[in-house]
Amino acid sequence: MRILVINGPNINMLGIREPEVYGSKTYDELVEYIKAAARELSLEVEIFQSNSEGAIVDRIQEAYGKFDGIVINAAAYTHTSIAILDALKAVNIPAVEVHLTEPNEREAFRKVSYVGKACIERFAGLGFEGYRRAMEKLKNWVEIPR
């Protein structure tokens, strides 16, 4: 089973960006965590990060026919991007939304998730563990006939 993990804007700045909110672990540590979790779950994983909305839309479209599931942390685009929502809907690949923090406990504008409208599940506020749970969810979703 092939999973595409997409990380949006500023996730590459983990460890530098607001450590009081996001902690001190770096993006490289997140990538290693995701790879290790995928190995333990017997999944093939590809990890993509971009600060560009268009690049994220392009990567989602390119996933069509190549991946069995998408884990997406669209970061700030979660609350603004109808384009990413439309791309997820267009490819119709099961997707799970992930956030390192709990957006509902932060600023009011973070309470709206456009991306989540195309996702089968959401894991928020669990730090890196949210990615593992998202991959587990996708593995079970695809392996259990609906």
- The catalytically annotated residue of 22, 27, 77, 79 is 22
Q: What are phi and psi of 45, to 5 degrees?
A: -130, 140
Contact criterion met (CB below 8 Å) for 82 and 116: no
79 tagged catalytic: no
Catalytic (active site) residue 99: yes
Q: How far apart are CA 46 and CA 5, in angstroms?
A: 6
**Burial class of 31 by CB neighbour count within 10 A (0 to 12, 13 to 18, 19+):** middle
Distance CA 91, CA 107 (A): 31
List of residues 6+ apart from 34 with CB closer than 8 A? 5, 45, 47, 128, 131, 135
d(CA 30, CA 23): 12
Q: Catalytic: which of 27, 77, 99, 114?
A: 99
Name the residues annotated as catalytic.
22, 99
